[in-house]
Amino acid sequence: QVVQSGAEIKTPGSSVKVSCRSSGNTLATYTISWVRQAPGQGLEWVGRIVPIFGVAHYAQKFRDRVTITADKVTTTSYMELTSLTFEDTAIYYCATEETGSSTWGQGTLVIVSS
Amino acid sequence: EIVLTQSPGTLSLSPGERATLSCRASQSVSSSYLAWYQQKPGQAPRLLIYGTSNRATGIPDRFSGSGSGTDFTLTISRLEPEDFAVYYCQQYVPSTEGFSFGPGTKVDFK
């Protein structure tokens, strides 16, 4: 099971940090991806991390303002997005993945509003 | 940058019918790196197919994937009521170690 943190309302220019906790595994064999979905829009890949190596990769679009981390002890991943704009309003999903399966969190709504 | 295009945008069918969804890439994509997801309203996406033609854990065999190079297809042999949803293809690009999604195909009731 993957559980994400609750909804956030942020102002333009601020940052948001969303958590994603995976229960029942040690993250040793998983990667964790982050995907977002703006209202009424399609899916957009943000980035992913391989916790066992601590290595993250990001979509070019977000590369200068997103950081994805993973804590193997607490089996929790975090996605921090800085310099928020109205266009960052979206549901942010995380998913733990291994070959042939993925388990998704419930999504975290981030609203950017002045 | 490899861009994925999906067609049709909307597919209107009835339960029991066959659904054929297309995903086209602007450049050749390795078959190992093409996946399909299903998303229902208000729900997170669900992995259906990985590596072009491998069903993910727990996915019924009415779902199948095929294709190579720039053209990939998701086929639902006989639509069940729970299959009406939006379907996204996704690619992985090793050179950038990044992923991208197509714009999606909505399968709705005729």
Q: Cβ-count burial of A73 within 10 angstroms (0-12 exposed, 13-18 middle, 19+ buried)? A: exposed
B-chain residues within 8 Å CB-CB of A59? 98-100
> How far apart are alpha carbons B78 and B16 in whole angstroms?
5
Residue A23 has pLDDT above 90, yes or no: no
Across chain A, mean pLDDT equals: 93
> Which residue is it, tokens 């602007």?
B26
Q: Report the candidate in A67, A100, A92, A71 with the shortest Cα–Cα distance to residue A10.
A: A92
Residue A73 has pLDDT above 90, yes or no: no
Residue A54 has pLDDT above 90, yes or no: no
A-chain residues within 8 Å CB-CB of B88? 42-43
Distance to chain A for B27, nearest Cα, Å: 18
CB contact under 8 A, A59 and B97: no
Rg for chain B (alpha carbons), in Å? 13
Per-residue confidence (pLDDT) for residue A26, from 0 to 100: 63
The predicted model gives A64-73 an average pLDDT of 93
Non-local (6+) Cβ contacts of B82 within 8 A are none
Closest chain B residue to the Cα of A37, Cα to Cα = B44
Residue A46 has pLDDT above 70, yes or no: yes
CB contact under 8 A, A60 and B103: no
The predicted model gives A68-72 an average pLDDT of 92
Per-residue confidence (pLDDT) for residue A74, from 0 to 100: 87
In percent, the amount of chain A with pLDDT more than 90 equals 79
Distance of CA A100 to the CA centre of its chain: 20
> How far apart are alpha carbons A107 and B26 in whole angstroms?
30
- Among B44, B58, B100, whose Cβ lies nearest the Cβ of A45? B100
CB contact under 8 A, B44 and A93: yes
110 residues of chain B, pLDDT tens digit each: 889 999 999 999 999 999 999 999 999 999 999 999 999 999 999 999 999 999 999 999 999 999 999 999 999 999 999 999 999 999 998 888 899 999 999 999 99
Per-residue confidence (pLDDT) for residue A27, from 0 to 100: 66
CB B80 within 8 A of CB B19: no
Residue A28 has pLDDT above 80, yes or no: no
Closest chain A residue to the Cα of B56, Cα to Cα = A100
